């Protein structure tokens, strides 16, 4: 059962209004489905927008923000809870601990780093949670092609590629997340070794 999902996304809005619109709709849908939001805690860009979609529809929104970013990424002041941590690694670990899966929407370097860390942890067998990309307006098409290239060139196993759930519609993406069955993979290392 999915109680909370982490959403990775940009702290800016990007160049196309659809990114903001979809972020808000995702937050609204999570609230309607009674799925709590775990995210980076900021009030800016798509981060603030997805949180607003949750909050304005009476959902749970939990932010996880490193102390050193509190001045830069203005903390959202209407969250259900704001957890302050010391490092970026602690932030991702806490977000993972609090959620039952991940959705990635448009963002920059930090968003990609968060997505791929979760994918790497799944590949290593450290978790079996669903990891999804909401491919708004084809934003991640080139990245998905690059992943296919990594498979074709022998750097990523097809079973690991299939761990990534992709859709461009919120409803069908959430349905895929709810029905996700993780492949059986040997655990390479323990969580304590990370």
Instruction: Express each pLDDT in 158-191 by its tens digit.
Output: 999 999 999 999 999 999 999 999 987 665 555 5
Residue 119 to residue 89: CA distance in whole angstroms: 15
Specify the DSSP class assigned to residue 134.
E
* pTM for the predicted model, two decimal places: 0.92
Write the CATH number of the domain with boundaries 4-179: 3.40.50.450
pLDDT digits (tens, 9 = 90+) for 17-33: 999 999 999 999 999 99
* pLDDT confidence band for 71 (50 / 70 / 90): low
38: exposed, middle or buried (Cβ count in 10 Å: 0-12, 13-18, 19+): buried
């Amino acid at each position: 059962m999915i109680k909370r999902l982490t959403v990775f996304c940009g702290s800016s809005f990007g160049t196309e209004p659809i990114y903001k619109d979809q972020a808000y709709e995702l937050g609204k849908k999570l609230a309607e489905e009674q799925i709590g939001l775990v995210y980076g805690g900021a009030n800016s860009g798509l981060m603030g927008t997805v949180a607003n979609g949750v909050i304005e529809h009476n959902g749970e929104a939990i932010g996880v923000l490193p102390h050193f970013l509190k001045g830069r990424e203005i903390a959202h002041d209407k969250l259900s809870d704001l957890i302050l941590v010391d490092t970026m690694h602690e932030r991702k670990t806490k977000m993972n601990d609090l959620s039952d899966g991940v959705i990635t929407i448009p963002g920059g370097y930090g968003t990609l780093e968060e997505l791929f860390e979760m994918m790497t942890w799944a590949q290593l067998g450290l978790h079996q949670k669903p990891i999804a990309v909401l491919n708004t307006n084809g934003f991640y098409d080139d990245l998905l092609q690059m992943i296919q290239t990594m498979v074709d060139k022998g750097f990523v196993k097809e079973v690991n590629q299939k761990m990534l759930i992709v859709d461009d519609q919120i409803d069908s993406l959430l349905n895929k997340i709810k029905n996700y069955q993780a492949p059986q993979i040997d655990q390479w290392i323990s969580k304590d070794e990370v």
